[in-house]
Amino acid sequence: MKKYSFSVWLLVRRLLPPFLRGAKMQVWLDVLLQPVTLLLDDLNTFAAQKTIEARYTSQTLSLQDWLNRRFDADQRRILVLHATEQSDYDYFHSEGQPSDYDYLPEENHTFGYLYFSGENTEGFAEDFRVQIPLSLNEKADEIRAQVLRYKFAGYTYAIIN
């Protein structure tokens, strides 16, 4: 994607008066404009990279895709796990979820306490976790920097293996 696509040579030639368009002047301007042409190519590369980065947000799939694209492009093993995905829920029958077994009093089963969402002690201490493979441990600081860049303010996270 070349957003800034224009010919530097053509621009200079149009601005140059006709009596200065000789062969020696054209060669001399080619030499002078070579660094500007290289800068334009660098600008186009930079703009394409920043356009890709601007598409990503702190949403789970977007953040996971960005981390995989940046650090594990071949195997895509980085996962973003939310605390709510690890919770045990009770469902209505109409929701069609598999029901938990309800014990009878004579079965002598010890019952667990059902917590309110604010009291949930079995979930993560963090809002989400980034699970990375062991082979990417040396890049954990870079991954942490990217997560800090894209996460919502106030959300806590942990990087786990």
User: SS3 of 31, please?
Assistant: helix
The pTM of the full predicted model, rounded to 2 decimals, is 0.50
What pLDDT is attached to residue 39? 92
What pLDDT is attached to residue 94? 75
Nearest to 48 by CA among 96, 5, 101, 3: 3
Q: Return per-residue pLDDT of the chain as tens, 161 residues.
A: 556 778 888 888 889 999 988 999 989 998 999 999 999 999 988 988 888 777 766 677 788 888 999 999 899 899 988 765 545 556 676 777 766 667 777 887 776 666 665 555 555 678 788 999 999 999 999 999 999 888 888 888 888 88
Q: Estimate to the nearest angstrom the gap between the alpha carbon of 147 and the chain centroid.
A: 8
Name the residue with tokens 């789970």: 60
What pLDDT is attached to residue 31? 93
CA gap 111, 92 in Å, rounded: 20
Handedness of CA 13, 16, 17, 19 (dihedral sign): negative
What pLDDT is attached to residue 55? 73
CA gap 85, 123 in Å, rounded: 9
User: SS3 of 5, please?
Assistant: coil
Contact assessment for residue 58 and residue 152, using Cβ atoms and an 8 Å cutoff:
yes
CA gap 160, 81 in Å, rounded: 10
Give the list of residues 6+ apart from residue 26 with CB closer than 8 angstroms, or none.
13
